[in-house]
């Protein structure tokens, strides 16, 4: 079976982690953690990086430190991972869902301004599946109504929006280093921002709100959200070949595009969007409901043929967890709902071999044409 993700861990990565292990400074206080934060921030056009245990917590932590609460509304795409929503709900704030664009699968920015109210505190701008969301439109709305834009760039290490890096444009941005991302540390995450005061707060609360002169005497309650030296060593090593990783993702996507070309009712995200090139964090396919059964059914057929795929995100407003409480019933977001039912993505791990790629492409094309 060809798995949907095979990470790429090189000899250089292993050497980097071994050296850090031998050096003995492995905690969140290791200098290599700030070295990684600085290098990662510099590579993405922000002044400061704050490494945290994962990309979900990065989002949670930002909303906490911004003091989002029950009187606040947060605008976000319905077609997204639950990580975008969880803390909004935990804090008692109200999510306001926006539908997606049929071609790019990103939030339909033409629908955002109508979603702004007096209670709106922030827009969560998610760059989805390899194409950047239209940041200039979102930034213009945010400026007009004095609200913040937070970028969820978990899928967009090294991705460009026009001539700017994704993750450089919001008040703050978040990244994930989960095993299927463009850079992985196994688990891991990063917050970037150029707001020094905000970054100091993040650092303070990340480290249990320890404070001089006495470490164990507290004025505030914080969290331990530190990132280990071992993770930083791996991240720093992976960052060195980010361009190469993105080139590989595009090469993988090209192979699938060729194998799946001309199949009626099947679309891949474009190689080039209006705002930048696709880095194909995943190679997603969307299906016309008149031509194909739902993605879960197709995924089963492809799996029986030996290839693991994954159906797309499921729309946030339709999650079964909300059924009992009957919240979000007012939402009808046809594009997000269609993508949730008729989208899936193919194996494109950075560690997949050319042989696995051509085999996977052949098998997938075979299922779609049989
Ligand atoms: C992966 C991902 C996350 C969550 O990151 P984790 O490190 O897995 O917690 C958040 N947002 C998006 C868009 C993601 O793709």
Decide: 174 and 191 in contact? Cβ < 8 Å.
Answer: yes
pTM equals: 0.97
Q: What is the pLDDT along the chain (370 residues), one digit of tens a residue?
A: 999 999 999 999 999 999 999 999 999 999 999 999 999 999 999 999 999 999 999 999 999 999 999 999 999 999 999 999 999 999 999 999 999 999 999 999 999 999 999 999 999 999 999 999 999 999 999 999 999 999 999 999 999 999 999 999 999 999 999 999 999 999 999 999 999 999 999 999 999 999 999 999 999 999 999 999 999 999 999 999 999 999 999 999 999 999 999 999 999 999 999 999 999 999 999 999 999 999 999 999 999 999 999 999 999 999 999 988 889 999 999 999 999 999 999 999 999 999 999 999 999 999 999 8
Q: Edge-to-edge, what's the strand order for the sheet holding 310-311?
A: 266-268, 283-287, 343-346, 310-311
Establish whether 277 is a catalytic residue: no
Quick one: which atom of ligand 1 is closest to the CA of 128? 13
> Which of 155, 174, 339 best tests ligand 1's pocket when mutated (most atoms within 8 Å of CB)?
155
Distance of CA 189 to the CA centre of its chain: 10
Q: Which of 38, 121, 144, 181 is catalytic?
A: 181
Give the list of residues 6+ apart from residue 1 with CB closer than 8 angstroms, or none. 303, 306, 307, 308
Decide: 73 and 206 in contact? Cβ < 8 Å.
Answer: no
First-to-last CA distance in the chain?
A: 20
What is the pLDDT, as a whole number, of residue 301? Answer: 98
> Which of 76, 81, 100, 172 best tests ligand 1's pocket when mutated (most atoms within 8 Å of CB)?
81
| 210 CB-contact burial (10 Å; exposed 0-12 / middle 13-18 / buried 19+) | middle
Q: Please give the Cα distance from 299 to 321 (Å, whole number).
A: 24
How many CB atoms are closer than 10 A to CB 147?
A: 19
Strand partners, 2: 307
Query: Could you tell me the distance, in angstroms and rounded to a whole number, from the CA of residue 346 to the centre of ligand 1?
Result: 18
């Amino acid at each position: 079976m060809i798995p949907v993700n095979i990470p790429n861990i090189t000899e250089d990565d292993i050497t980097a982690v071994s050296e850090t292990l031998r050096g003995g400074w492995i905690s969140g206080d290791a200098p290599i953690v700030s070295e990684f934060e600085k290098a990662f921030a510099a590579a993405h056009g922000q002044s400061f990086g704050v490494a945290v245990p994962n990309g979900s917590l990065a989002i949670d932590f930002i909303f906490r430190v911004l003091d989002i609460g029950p009187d606040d509304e947060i605008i976000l795409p319905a077609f997204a991972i639950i990580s975008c929503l969880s803390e909004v709900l935990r804090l008692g704030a109200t999510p306001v869902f926006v539908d997606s664009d049929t071609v790019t699968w990103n939030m339909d920015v033409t629908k955002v301004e109508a979603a702004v109210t007096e209670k709106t505190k922030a827009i969560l701008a998610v760059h989805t599946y390899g194409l950047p969301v239209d940041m200039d439109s979102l930034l213009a709305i945010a400026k007009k109504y004095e609200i913040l834009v937070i970028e969820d760039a978990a899928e967009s290490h090294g991705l460009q929006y026009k001539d700017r890096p994704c993750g450089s444009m919001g008040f703050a941005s978040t990244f994930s280093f989960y095993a299927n991302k463009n850079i992985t540390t196994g688990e891991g995450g990063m917050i970037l921002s150029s707001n020094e005061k905000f970054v100091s707060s993040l650092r303070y609360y990340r480290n249990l709100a320890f404070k001089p002169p006495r470490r164990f005497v507290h004025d505030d309650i914080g969290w331990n959200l530190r990132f280990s030296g071992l993770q930083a060593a791996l991240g720093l090593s992976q960052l060195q070949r980010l361009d190469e990783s993105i080139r590989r993702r595009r090469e993988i996507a090209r192979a699938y595009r060729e194998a799946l070309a001309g199949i009626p009712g099947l679309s891949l995200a474009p190689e080039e969007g209006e705002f930048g090139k696709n880095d194909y964090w995943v190679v997603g396919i969307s299906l016309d409901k008149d031509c194909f059964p739902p993605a879960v059914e197709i995924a089963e057929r492809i799996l029986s043929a030996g290839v693991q795929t994954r159906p797309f995100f499921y729309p946030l407003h339709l999650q079964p967890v909300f059924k009992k409480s009957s919240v979000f019933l007012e939402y009808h977001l046809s594009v997000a709902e269609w993508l949730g039912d008729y989208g899936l993505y193919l194996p494109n791990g950075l560690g997949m071999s050319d042989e696995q790629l051509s085999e996977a492409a052949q098998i997938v094309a075979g299922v779609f044409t049989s």
